[in-house]
Structure 1
Amino acid sequence: MEETQAAELLDDALTHWAAGGAGPDVFQFLDLKTDLDPQGSASKWVDGTGPGSSPIGKAGLPSDPDGVPAYAVMLATTHMPDGRPLPMLILECETAGAGLADLARRTDWQAWDGSQLPQPDYNWRLRVDIATRSLECLVQIDPDGYDVLPHLWDASETVPLPEPFWDLLDRAQHVLIAGPVKHGEDQDAFQRAADTGELLAVVARVRFM
């Protein structure tokens, strides 16, 4: 099967998966399983400042390394209307320049209120390493197939994913990515951000390397 045909097939499958009464009372996008991270923290998957950084509050975030805003990623799952799980990454602001304005500038992701799946964009790739079972990077591909630099997110070290999350990525072959959130925000804050149009999201391909 050609890549274009595969993309169309996956697009149809996602549309069918999310269709049919998938309103806010049905599509439970905040049914998150953040306990999939055995460390109880997303700090191992940060970009830029690296694990072991000082606690970060709402103010006083570190400066952007080399002028490029940085994010951490939090592992999560959500559930489709038919009950099947979907892997999800939540982007957390890690440095001062990270946030909604930065994501809007660097991506073409759509505003997302959680009521249905955002449109798939196969120019976005989440790369994962098969040998180490770890996340590598989140990248956009240009029309010629090259990475758009700088990457939106790069892992600062190799950390194996929890087995349930790895298995889910392997089955789904795609991932819902949403953000940004501020450090320490809870699910209520995430819901408020969705309700007020302060979240962007995309469904990206998962590439096993």
Structure 2
Amino acid sequence: MMMAGFKLGRSARRLGLGLGLIAALAGASPVEVSAPVQDPSALSPEAVGIGQVVTAAELAAWGRRRGDPGALILAARMLGEVPVRVGEGEAPILTPDRLLDEAASLSLGQPAWLDAIDRVREHGSRGVDSSSFGEGPIFTVKEVRARAVYGFNVQARGGEVLRIAAIGDGDTNIDLSMRDASGAVICRDGSGDHYPVCTVVPPRAGTVRIDIINRGDVWTKVQILSN
């Protein structure tokens, strides 16, 4: 599996990923983001699940750029471990089966890759009986027009981690921001990719405004995840 060049420093810092996963995938490319959670133990299982989904999206993007079916297979395995609760909108755009279909296309019919894909499909077909990610994140799929903003409000609990991620279909860059009830920005991810995430701990209960910004000239589907 050709993974040597993959760097997860950005995801590791902003998502609070475990050291085991970081060591397994390697890399160190620090990027500062606002409102970091200093204590990973404060994250709910569902928030950790969002972190794994976003990391799977980043790994899949890396694999597409390099034509590496192994990266897509690993991303599908990671994604399949996280249960999700269905919200409104269409079916999710990032799924294990879709990633495995992409891996099959990149495999050029090589038996070893096809066998690995079949094994992951078979394991995934059994479902998730129990998970360390709790009930899993809630997902909603929306379409965002070119250069447009999709905004919504959530009711945050004081002192509890709130994590929101937006995973696009890859056609355009997406930014994500959070504002408190006064309109002040409490988190922003404008890293120039299509899988931004924000994690904050509001000091008190109240309304938090979420804005998902399509920076490109074409419309995009966005899979929104929250804990």
TM-score in terms of structure 1 length: 0.25
Give 1 or 2 for the bigger CA radius of gyration: 2
TM-score in terms of structure 2 length: 0.24
